[in-house]
Structure 1
Amino acid sequence: MKYKYLFFKFTLFLLLGALSLPAIAQTIKGKVTDAETKEPMVGTTVSLKETGRSQYVKLDGYFTFKNLKPGDYTLEFRFVSYKTRLVKVNVTNLKTTTLNVVMEPTTNELNSVSIVDNESATDRRSRTIEKNSNQLVNVVSARSIELSPDITVANVMQRVSGVTIERSNSGEGRYPIIRGMDKRYINTLVNGIKIPSPDNKNRFIPLDLFPAELLERLEVSKTLTPSMEGDAIGGTINLVMKDAPSATLLQASFSAGYNSVFAGRYFEQFDRSTISKLAPTEIKGNSYAATAADFPVNNLHFSNKANPININFGVTFGDRLFKDKKLGFIVSTSYQDNFTGNNSTFFLPNASPGVNNVPTFSDLEARTYSQESRRIGVNNKFDYKFNNRNKISLVNVFVRLDDYQTRRISDTISTNALVDAFSRSRWQYQSIYNSTLQGIHQLDDALKFDWSVAYSQANNHIPDQAEFDHEYPITQTTVSSDNLQGMSRIWTHNSDQDYSVYLNLTDNFKLLNRKFELKLGGLERNKSRDSYYNSYSLSPYLGTSNNQVYTTIDAANFTFKTTDKSLFVPDGNDYTFKENIAAAYIQGKWQLTDKLEALGGVRVEYTKQNYATQLPASVDAATGIINYTDFLPTALLKYALKDNESIRLSYNRALARPAFSDMIPGGQMGEVYQEQGNPLLNHTTADNLDLRYDLFPKNADEILLGAFYKKIYNPIEYEVSPKGTTAILMPKNDETDATNYGFEAVFTKYFGPMGVVANYTYTKSKITTAKVFTYRNDAGIISSRVQDETHPLQGQSDHIANMSLIYRNAKLGLNLQGAFVYTGTRVAFVNPAYGLDYYQAPTEQLDFSAEKTLCKKFTFFAKANNLTNTPYVLELHQSYNAYLANGQRPLALQTDVNKVITVQKDSFKANYLFGIRYKL
């Protein structure tokens, strides 16, 4: 009886417990979306007011509250720049309550005019831009940039599908290459306005000038529409700066770190105190004959600094003022002071190879670089909304980069010979300034007019680059002293100024009862460039001796010999260049069916150029005038399989104007060849075909699969031409057209807090160039002939891959990202000699970043770059064993001896950064 009672009691307990479970295990779950874009509102704060519990909307767009008792609840939804929503819910037993919550922005958009607020900085807004854009575009949001391991725009670019970057001597990313198209084929904009380049020879923009934290988003367009500027065969990069917010915005960050390359050696710095920004002849007149006294040697005083610390900080503040918040502004600043280094081994080739084009080398160099880079960026914007139809804005962007570089070289030409020790100091500062006044006017419900007036200036200065060398034996078999050699001093600077006006008129109406958008407009740009170059070479003062013994640079005694350059002799490097571009376009977008949209039109660009050098009038093409007109048609089709799925087919013609120095007769001495421009150079044009499949499943997820083909006319390659006893490196148009084709795949997927972002690009290009081949004829005499060689375009890599593994947990306030970049073999330098192109070996780089919320407004972050210590390696695709069999001297660095000759290896090591971020 006792056991029956216990069994009954136990059964009753289980039954009551089971009946009570629904009362404590109810669930509320739901999805939060944007009223305009229909995209999930990741990061929205959801609070359950009756319990005080709260959470963030996850990466998949959902939230869930579990273990709730039956009853009435109120949920509060909050997100910056969106209206707060209160939703009442009744929870009953044995039921999961599911909600679909739609959030509305606190500010309205001007009809058909994009007025972007802070929310545009999110990944989902980036996917929306990619989905709705007319051209094929990849977008990186400010939030993705903030969470990435990168602090400059150049390094952010390497995360974009189909993009690789060229690095500077310090290992920092500098120039992008899009789909294997070299930097000469790429166009760079700031807020849609083309900016000039500070580069002393070329048009392309060094993107390491721009701190990444100034950006609201980064757009990379790989196709063009008629309304876009046409000089972008490879693609267009648009740096969209931070915009005025809809509410008070205050952000600040501070970080510090170090480069591990200095864990094994000192950072070497030089004295900058006496550097003169002007050459002696700029101060005293072009006829002034310089003396040794004009060249103090303080900037050749070097000192060691142990474990230099990198410092970075930035501040952003914005708000809207006055009644109805009509006036908005934002000011964003960034300062970066970073120390980088490079340990390099380099084999300097002879200008002429051996018989059968076996490579020969004049010097084997051990190089060390120490570089301090100070980067300043300022972005400010003011906009005023007169009403819902009219708005004007003023944008000012300024960036400046100061590089202080010390370079040491030790070189020899044989095992038992003399070593030349070179020491060089260089201060280079570059800047870009852009000011743009813009207006957007909705004339009626269908008609819109917008305009822009812009002024831009770019400057580049290298004041008093100083280098000297001394020579000493490397064996003890001969008694000899350390002897002073020559010294060189170089001043160079250039400045670009652009004045631009853009006009666009857009009308919307129905054509054959289908939506039709007609857009037409044009631009006028006046560019002027000034370039100055002056170099001096001095020799050691010998007196009655044959040599001057070197002890210190302060004790060195230099003078000008009759063969040295003490007078300023203007040449082709000193020139003025003016360029006027007038463009007009007409563009139509027609909704042919419910699923099929067509866009087409034509752009006409007229280019007028004239230049004047300081070469004597007797020199051919000392001055020149160049005019040409290009018709650039475009046709695009977009077929919507579903609302979030489409297929795009596009064709467009584009152009690339030659670099300034490419057209100027005269040039500078490079490391191997004397460089010279070619006034007969033609500009390059190309036909581009693209096919892409787009799928945007939800949130920030995406799948993009595409193929592309480019036919390039008048491509520019560098060839060697004999001029007396000197070999001249000169740009020329190849007689054969070049092709470039491939495919891309982009995949982004989030699984709750986990995410995978990956892309892969295969590119193949082909160009045939006339090159020099050296051989021994039947009579035993060494001779040469011109022989065609087919090779990839410079900068093109067959395989490019990116993969990032992401963990984002809003509840824990934790974000982690591991980013891997693979760049396959690519041509780094097209050699004028047959079979001697320089190839960059494949690189594999691993980076990492982390972010942890410390409290409501403060976040700790860390960034680590190049954890794999990936070196930069250049190779010749010839057998090293065959090279030795030809009687050449042994070389260090060699590994794959049967296939390649390694000619350069640079080591940069890992870089670390740790910081604090504040957000109001």
Structure 2
Amino acid sequence: MLLGAKQYPLSTITLMVLASLTVTNISSAQSTNEEAIEEVVTKGTRLKGTATAVIEERKNQAFVVDILGADQISRTGDSDAASALRRVTGLTLVDGKFIYVRGLGERYSSTSLNSAAVPSPDPTRNVIPLDLFPADIIESLSVQKSYSPSMSASFGGGNVDIRLKSIPTQEVFNISLGTGYNADNGSNGLTYKGGDSDWRGKDDGSRAAPALILQRWENKQFLDNLDPDFARDIFISVKRSYDPLAESIGPDGSFNLTYGNSYDITDKWRIGFLLANAYSNKTRVTQQYELQQADRIGDEIELVRFFDDISATETTVQYSNLFTFGVDYNRNHQLDYSLIVLSDTRDEIREQFGNTENLSVGENLRIRDVVVEYEERRMFTNQLKGKHTFPEYDFIGFDWRYSLGRSLRNAPGNFESRFIIEDANLDSIFDINSEISLTNAPTAARYSFQNLNDRLENFGYNFSYPMSIENWEMEFKFGADFVTKSRTAQNRRFDINTRAFANAEILQGNTFSSIFSDEVLLNAQQTGSAVIRDTTIAGDDYVAGQKVDAYYVEGDFFYKNQWRLSGGVRFEDFRQVVAPFDPRTGKFDLTENGLEELAFSESDFYPALALTYMLGDAMQFRGSIGQTVVRPDLREVSSATYIDPLTGFPIAGTPGVKTTSIINLDLRWEWYREAGNNISVGLFYKDMDNPIESVQSPAQDGPPLIRIANAESGFVYGLEMEFLQGLDIMGDGVWDNLFASGNITLSDSQIVLDRQSIVELTGVSAAITNTKRRLTGHSQFVANLQLGFDSDNGEHSASFVYNVFGERILIPGIDGFADSFEQPFHSFDTVYKYYPNFNTTITVKLQNLLDQEKRLEFEDVLLRSETRGRELSLSFKYNFK
């Protein structure tokens, strides 16, 4: 140890982590033992390798960036990209899939994979559901919060770049097994007769529409005005076994395998590869409440339509495959190929009891709905990228990338049915065994089948030229980015008309499959109406295309390693068209203005400038300004109606929605101290013209219709604070093994809406309660805190992690009702890791220890609630190398 150097205690696990971060070829790492130990000291070990590995990268960025490394994700126990990103300053998680950056909705944030654009399998949003990406394949998550010209100009809150694991510097081979259980699962789970391949997240075809129906749809015949006997015969071929069955839920399971290596072929050539596979199967039982309609009578609010008893069971099957192969020549030329395959299947059954305005307890009636939602989401992406440096030409750099991806969503078996429970003996007990029957109505049950295909091609390149003149270090960049995206979507549905049968007594019972058994259908007397009614409507099918051609120029200037000026300009030519079809004719479903109203194009320049002042090696001040846009996505300019999975409300796009223009301002102070300790404070402000928002229109029956419209103006501003500190400042002893980290964001926003402008744009009534309000989804505060422990011998580590967000508007109010706010969710988790030897890791996670539930309220009235339950999981990981 060199004299005078500050010493920190080193543990076995510390040396393991640091070795993995700093390993080099033995031939190029000849040094004394003292020098090797000194290198470890300067790295800092306060967080035992979790956060310090990414601090240097964040520090060296020209624009404001927050980075979360794989070790940090592992430390907090998050299972996917979405849940991990909620730990980043100013980010909140919505619906377990979408990230809101600085209080701006998912449409105001963009996502890239290894810096390349990728397609989305979500039919209702243009962004990627981030729960698709399991933590096991993620190397780091980068959130750029201030705009730079090298990235897409469609930039609001920020850009999330998911960086997948790359080729290792040495052989990697590990396997992990995991299991888990939710305390709410118990013996009250529900299931139904699904398919034989459900365990692998693949429908075996039993949920799909029968071949005869598919053939009619393909031939544009549909299921209209069918002969009653023919309709009955078709119905016999349809799956009817969707009845809920009580089941005791077993434990979750997961498996991960990673193998990779690198080889020196010659003194100059090196190749390597990495293969990572993961599988998980998880089931969650929840109790829910849902208010669908309320009326105001004087000062009182009357609940009209609601489900006050909902039991739901959701099974999620996920698997991921990552294969990467790379070639390196003389460390100046690198070529990498990656294949990413992600699959996420959600299978949910709900049994819900409630009342409507006409079917109420006052009339001695209750309703029972059975709902099954099954969807398969898959993403396939091929990426090829190169990085080249030419020392013989003043170290000119040339980087390029090509990505071709497809996303698929298949929902082959969505089903819903309605039963009526009548308290016939007036004992105030609604017996679901003896006092129940399937409703006698044209819409007694509904089958729906959906399919979506996205294809996205992305090519980009960048040239860089470094220069040095006296006190100036400079780098000039220019490049281009080209994106071509296409989407096709198909939706088919038909209803079951129970009025097709003359004897209503056959509808008695609580199981759909028994009421409509083959024997009953073949012997039941018919009224002359068809039992099947096709309810597919115009706009259920659509095709969409998007093309972006972009070019940019950037400059990066250092003066005396104290001042840094970065900036440039980007030019984007954007074109988009969304064309809804009438499935029955195969022709465009056009508005009065024709195809022009469905097409959208614009081109403009988008500048950005950032200034950094470095006060020594540890402290720096940043400031940046940039002009960006947020454009309406593929469905938001189509008049077709779809159901929002977040709210359950129907949403109709609006042709003619304008682009949102944004001016982004950022200021930030950063102080990087010894041993990885750091602190930063930032201010941000965004001024928006024509912000895109969701508004409601009152509905005659059922939930309100959501329309996409432009507000007049808007802004969001806030303060972000982040810190990481070893607790040895509290004294010696146990404090040496503890550290604390966290962040807090305080912000506010406002949009101004004009009712008449919205009516003119959408063509429907806009009974908006508050014409001035916060942005939908914006939380005025977000906080993350973590307390970590590492034992001296490196065999034990523990983290206690807390996350909370402030209330946020999820459903804007109409007709005098206040906005509906999602209530704060206090998440408290703990993660313990045990390292019995160099190769083994045992992890125990306890999540949602406070047993919080998701709640949505307006005017102190509960609109929705959903239990989450406490979770316990255990995993075992073994490194063979």
After TM superposition, the score normalised by the length of structure 2 is 0.85
Residue 593 of structure 1 deviates from its aligned partner by 4.6
Residue 316 of structure 1 deviates from its aligned partner by 1.1
2-structure distance, mates of 1:353, 1:588: 60
Contact 1:718 1:729 in 2 (8 A): no
Deviations 1:475-497 (A, max 9, x none): 63399942212010001111110
In the alignment, does 2:790 pair up with 1:846? no
- SS at the partner of 2:126? coil
In the alignment, does 2:286 pair up with 1:326? no
1:493 corresponds, among 424, 428, 451, to 451
In the alignment, does 2:872 pair up with 1:912? yes
2:761 corresponds to which residue?
Answer: none
Q: Which runs of structure 2 are paired with 1:719-738 in the superposition (5 Å)? A: 719-721=695-697, 729-738=705-714
2-structure distance, mates of 1:357, 1:445: 76
Identity %: 19
458-467 or 669-678, which deviates more: 669-678
Residue 145 of structure 1 deviates from its aligned partner by 1.4
User: Which AA in structure 1 matches 2:106?
Assistant: K
1:92 corresponds to which residue?
Answer: none
2:723 corresponds to which residue?
Answer: 747
1:816 corresponds to which residue?
Answer: 798
Cα separation, partners in 2 of 1:474 and 1:758, compared to 1, 3 Å:
farther
2:246 corresponds, among 288, 300, 304, to 304
Q: Which runs of structure 2 are paired with 1:52-63 in the superposition (5 Å)? A: 56=14
Residue 733 of structure 1 deviates from its aligned partner by 3.5
Residue 565 of structure 1 deviates from its aligned partner by 6.7
User: Which AA in structure 1 matches 2:825?
Assistant: T
Cα separation, partners in 2 of 1:725 and 1:162, compared to 1, 3 Å:
closer
1:415 corresponds to which residue?
Answer: 361
Contact 2:840 2:878 in 1 (8 A): yes
Q: Which runs of structure 2 are paired with 1:293-372 in the superposition (5 Å)? A: 293-294=234-235, 296-321=238-263, 322-324=265-267, 326-350=270-294, 360-372=303-315
2:512 corresponds to which residue?
Answer: 553
CA root-mean-square deviation: 3.3
2-structure distance, mates of 1:611, 1:560: 43
Cα separation, partners in 2 of 1:735 and 1:854, compared to 1, 3 Å:
closer
User: Which AA in structure 2 matches 1:258?
Assistant: Y
1:13 corresponds to which residue?
Answer: none
1-structure distance, mates of 2:593, 2:175: 54
1:705 corresponds to which residue?
Answer: 681
Contact 2:786 2:802 in 1 (8 A): yes
2:206 corresponds to which residue?
Answer: 275
Contact 2:652 2:708 in 1 (8 A): no
- SS at the partner of 1:525? strand
Deviations 1:220-243 (A, max 9, x none): 111121111122211111111111
Contact 1:313 1:335 in 2 (8 A): yes
1:374 corresponds to which residue?
Answer: 317
1:256 corresponds to which residue?
Answer: 179
In the alignment, does 2:410 pair up with 1:464? no
In the alignment, does 2:376 pair up with 1:441? no
In the alignment, does 2:59 pair up with 1:101? no
Q: Which runs of structure 2 are paired with 1:782-797 in the superposition (5 Å)? A: 788-797=770-779
User: Which AA in structure 2 matches 1:903?
Assistant: L
Contact 2:804 2:827 in 1 (8 A): yes
835-844 or 287-296, which deviates more: 287-296
Residue 729 of structure 1 deviates from its aligned partner by 2.8
1:484 corresponds, among 411, 415, 438, to 438
- SS at the partner of 1:135? coil
Residue 831 of structure 1 deviates from its aligned partner by 3.1
- SS at the partner of 1:326? strand
Deviations 1:545-571 (A, max 9, x none): 455322432222389986987347452
Cα separation, partners in 2 of 1:614 and 1:916, compared to 1, 3 Å:
same
Which ranges of structure 1 fall in alignment gaps of 5 or more residues?
1-26, 34-39, 46-54, 62-75, 90-97, 106-118, 168-172, 773-782, 879-899
In the alignment, does 2:672 pair up with 1:696? yes
Aligned pair count?
804
- SS at the partner of 1:699? helix
2:60 corresponds, among 125, 132, 155, to 132
Residue 288 of structure 1 deviates from its aligned partner by 3.8
In the alignment, does 2:399 pair up with 1:450? yes
2-structure distance, mates of 1:162, 1:77: 31
Contact 2:206 2:239 in 1 (8 A): no
Deviations 1:340-380 (A, max 9, x none): 12111222125x76678957532243212101111111112
Deviations 1:815-856 (A, max 9, x none): 101101111111122234444311011221110111101222
Residue 389 of structure 1 deviates from its aligned partner by 1.9
Q: Larger RCO: Structure 1 or Structure 2 (Cα < 8 Å, ≥ 6 residues apart)?
A: 2
2-structure distance, mates of 1:283, 1:901: 48
1-structure distance, mates of 2:803, 2:190: 28
Residue 589 of structure 1 deviates from its aligned partner by 1.0
- Rg larger in 1 or in 2? 1
1:760 corresponds, among 744, 760, 768, to 744
User: Which AA in structure 1 matches 2:868?
Assistant: F
2-structure distance, mates of 1:511, 1:360: 74
- SS at the partner of 2:195? coil
Deviations 1:860-918 (A, max 9, x none): 11111111111111110x2xxxxxxxxxxxxxxxxxxxxx2222221111111101111
After TM superposition, the score normalised by the length of structure 1 is 0.81
Deviations 1:40-87 (A, max 9, x none): 9x9786xxxxxxxxx95599x9xxxxxxxxxxxxxx999644757664
Residue 300 of structure 1 deviates from its aligned partner by 0.4
Cα separation, partners in 2 of 1:536 and 1:643, compared to 1, 3 Å:
same
Contact 2:769 2:815 in 1 (8 A): no
Residue 152 of structure 1 deviates from its aligned partner by 1.4
1-structure distance, mates of 2:528, 2:674: 74
Deviations 1:150-197 (A, max 9, x none): 111111111111111112xxxxx2111111011111111111111111
Residue 304 of structure 1 deviates from its aligned partner by 3.1
Deviations 1:746-771 (A, max 9, x none): 01112432111111001101112346
User: Which AA in structure 1 matches 2:370?
Assistant: S
2:88 corresponds to which residue?
Answer: 160
Cα separation, partners in 2 of 1:163 and 1:357, compared to 1, 3 Å:
farther
- SS at the partner of 2:838? coil
User: Which AA in structure 2 matches 1:240?
Assistant: R
User: Which AA in structure 1 matches 2:572?
Assistant: E
1-structure distance, mates of 2:324, 2:3: 41
Deviations 1:67-111 (A, max 9, x none): xxxxxxxxx99964475766468xxxxxxxx99623799xxxxxx
1-structure distance, mates of 2:88, 2:822: 20
539-548 or 555-564, which deviates more: 555-564
1-structure distance, mates of 2:697, 2:22: 65
Contact 2:481 2:550 in 1 (8 A): yes
Contact 1:231 1:657 in 2 (8 A): yes
Contact 1:538 1:560 in 2 (8 A): no
User: Which AA in structure 2 matches 1:550?
Assistant: G
Cα separation, partners in 2 of 1:43 and 1:239, compared to 1, 3 Å:
farther
1:508 corresponds to which residue?
Answer: 466
2:585 corresponds to which residue?
Answer: none
Residue 590 of structure 1 deviates from its aligned partner by 1.2
Contact 2:578 2:635 in 1 (8 A): no
1-structure distance, mates of 2:375, 2:817: 35
2:331 corresponds, among 388, 392, 396, to 388
2-structure distance, mates of 1:516, 1:542: 79
User: Which AA in structure 2 matches 1:816?
Assistant: A
1-structure distance, mates of 2:4, 2:246: 61
1-structure distance, mates of 2:701, 2:825: 39
Cα separation, partners in 2 of 1:391 and 1:617, compared to 1, 3 Å:
closer
1-structure distance, mates of 2:527, 2:296: 34
Deviations 1:699-725 (A, max 9, x none): 332201001001112112223457999
Residue 303 of structure 1 deviates from its aligned partner by 2.9
Cα separation, partners in 2 of 1:682 and 1:730, compared to 1, 3 Å:
farther
2-structure distance, mates of 1:723, 1:255: 47
Q: Which runs of structure 2 are paired with 1:68-217 in the superposition (5 Å)? A: 80-81=23-24, 83=26, 87=32, 101-102=38-39, 122-167=50-95, 173-217=96-140
Contact 1:621 1:665 in 2 (8 A): no
Q: Which runs of structure 2 are paired with 1:36-51 in the superposition (5 Å)? A: none
Cα separation, partners in 2 of 1:633 and 1:741, compared to 1, 3 Å:
same
2:733 corresponds to which residue?
Answer: none
In the alignment, does 2:608 pair up with 1:634? yes
2-structure distance, mates of 1:269, 1:554: 11
2-structure distance, mates of 1:359, 1:725: 16
User: Which AA in structure 2 matches 1:552?
Assistant: T
Which ranges of structure 2 fall in alignment gaps of 5 or more residues?
197-204, 583-587, 729-735, 757-764
Residue 544 of structure 1 deviates from its aligned partner by 3.1
